[in-house]
Structure 1
Amino acid sequence: MSMIRTITYGILALLAMTLLVACSKGNGSREAGGEAGHGPVQMTAWSDRTEVFLEHPELEPGKGATLLIYLTRTADWKPLASSEVHLVITPPAGTPLTVAAKGTKPGLYRAEATFPAKGAYRLTVVIGGSQGEQIELPSLLVGEGHDHGEGEHKETAASDRKEGTPHDRDDHGDHAAETKQGGGKEPAHAEHDDHDEHAGHGGHDSHDDHEGEQAHDETGKAHAHAASGAVGAITLTKEQQWAVAFGVAEPRRMDMASGLTAVGELVPVATAEAVVAAPLAGVVSPTRALPFPGKRVAKGEVIAVIDPPASLGGGMTQLAADHAQAMSRLTLAQAEYDRAKRLVEGKIAARKRLEEAEASLEAARAVATPLETAMKSVQGGSGGRITVRAPVSGTVVEVPAVNGSGVAPGQTLVRIVDTGRLWLRVNLPATDLGKVGRPAAAGTTFTVTGLPGEFHTSGLVSDGTVVDPQTRTLPLVFAVENRSGNLKAGMFARVTIRTGTAKGVLAVPKEALFEDEGRWFAFVQISGITFDRREVQIGTEDQGMIQIVSGLDEHDRLVVKGGYYVKLASQGGATADPHAGHGH
């Protein structure tokens, strides 16, 4: 029994020591300002010309702190290099303090400041001297940590929002501040000016919310937002943004042409496709190479030469003889039909004779017609060779024959399609017929996956008269000009048939949206370096803009250029780590 007690006490002692060590690790000190155990506070403000992204540690009265300011031009989203950047820090009571920010690299500035007393300090970034641009950021909280009390407005963090739900905002459209605390030890900052630094990094165990404050510059409103990196958000650092083509903008209200969307397929025009067949038996001569798929051929161009078979009586001689015999039979049948018709009209012969003569005429014509066509498309050569020519201009899309192989009469040599003009075949659901009426070609557009831009139809070929009983759709056929040759027969298209105009709808550029298994998403900027993947419902498309039915509001800032890089970051599992992508 004493041995059991000894083992039990030993286990309990070991557990107690483990808990003690774990607790002691959570109280590491910070070497770059701020109270131990808190992560950096991130703030973002936007004006018409500039984005300001600021980071600082937890601020304590009487202690110095490093503030990092990232300036980005909103015209091209590249780093803003200015010869003069100042911070105007206004305490709750007293005289404002002006601090110069020193540039460490293009777009990155560093300022050192000491806050004498506890409270909320107003912060204004001045770019280009006293007469330059002034952008106000959310208040700096000194000695208050992240606890604002129960009376202040709070907003749900990005990690707690459901996809497809717009940001909650107060009546002024302000963004809420997001902060988090942790117990990790803060790494020291390098003191060299040419290093990219973060002020006051810490752990990431929990987060609370700060209220965002609306800021103004000399040109108008500047939206402000404070955050320390929402858990689960996607991170793309300022250096990464500056290195690629990138851009952020708000959705805008506009009038858009409304319409119905359907799936269509590009097909060859019925009269612009020709199958070239062997007019008689023979061998495809190796002396004339058959055209390859994709080659453009002109009407009348030689595309094949057929040598006569080894047996006597073949080749061009046989074709000419067969043609002459068929034409003779056709002439006799036509004469007999004319004679029988006169006799029947004169009531000299029975009507049955006319019917028999008509049947004989049709049979003779059926034999003579293909031979007549063959004689027009071929040209006799020496030794009974037959030269086959293209009946239409176009592109060779299929070559089933092979040089040196034998062919039978009627066997396909090549297939030619004129792709300079295509048809767009659309199956419109019967339930939408009342919304469209007779569709107008001028108001019908389509897009093709993999091809940039929007395409227009040039005419309505057929508006259909009968609904397909199996699919319950009405077939529509539009003409499409394809002089560039970029469109290919067999491609599928997303077709929009215009039905009217939607007034004042929310719209975003098409390149701002990404499709994933039939669902559409956009990347919304939460702070200067963090983004949220938001599901949206889309409506009509017009001139490169897509209507947003739900999922965004007009104050959201979404990535409209360079979203591919944010998507890569999201697939790589990037989170809003303040340390990510920055040098120390």
Structure 2
Amino acid sequence: MKMSMLRAIAPATLAFTLVACGGGSAPAGNEAAEHAEEEGHAEEGVVTLSQQQIAEAGIEVVRPTVGGVAGAIEVSATIEGDPQGVQVASAAIGGRLVSLTRNLGQSVSRGDVLAVIESREAATLRGDIEAARARLALAQSNLRREQRLFAERVSPEQDLIAARTAATEANIALRQAQQQLAATGGGGGALNRITVRAPISGQVVARSATLGQTVTADAELFRIANLSTVSIAMSLLPADAGRVRPGSRVEVTAPGRRQEGRVTFVSPILDETTRLVSVIATLDNGANDWRVGETVSASIIVPAGGDTTVAVPSAAVQMIEDKPHVFVRTPTGFKAVPVTLGRRNGGQVVVTAGLNGTEQIASTNSFTLKAELGKGEAEHED
């Protein structure tokens, strides 16, 4: 009786065990699959780049504009050189030009020799130095002799004082003669020659000197311009100028070029003739993209006070699967974040959802990140 009961229970126990094991293995497999899906989802939209790779790709990282964009003041503007960046190299004394080392368009560094002038006045100045040097040597010799005689109680103290005074005056006369020659640009390898040197680093934009020409003192020979930074001159209506502050962003555009600058000056005085307000902005010109005198279009971005709207540069928005995205900086690169866009103002577009304004985003060359993202997805599918 007992043996028959055991035989009946054993199959039931085995079946229960198998069912239990099978029931336990299915959830475990589902959890692993779900975990794998979560890991794949976490990597979606991510582009891994080092800081060096970001710099080499020319990707600029900026923060979104918080405060909204009330509009843009569109005006015509003119490129002007920095007043401190244009200087003249002139002859300090008259003479004949015997050497010219630079021509139009050539770059120079501060202190470079631009020209050599042969002058009788230079010879006179050098002669004055030699005479002053000889007088100083004689005065110092007399001083040593008087010091020795005074120590031997042969010469009175009054003679020693006179010799010391004469030596001091001779030393002053020598320094004065040397400074007079230095003020003319003394040098050039000969007694009667002086040099004209570049007052600043930059580029030769004008040259009025001709080899062999006789020039007068203070005659302009070269004009040197450092145009690594240029100014944008604008004229605004008083009502518009009241909305502009130093530091406001200015987008400057010309055929094939676009660059951003900053307002540095808003005049508190109206122009007497035009009754407009002068506004100056600065623009980096390290690549020599902008020329002095060129007419360009300027768009002054005016923020809206009391607003917390987030705006990004239009170049920062990339369409991925027909949806707008912005690439947000991460510790290892960038992540494509979907956003909802609002109105556009100048080169800015309002983001109504997706960003809070505290992120760092890729602005220029963000299309390279889109391309990298496409490559990564294609490799993943393979």
TM-score, with normalisation over the residues of structure 2? 0.46
- Larger relative contact order (Cα-Cα within 8 Å, sequence gap ≥ 6): 2
Structure with the higher helix share, 1 or 2:
2
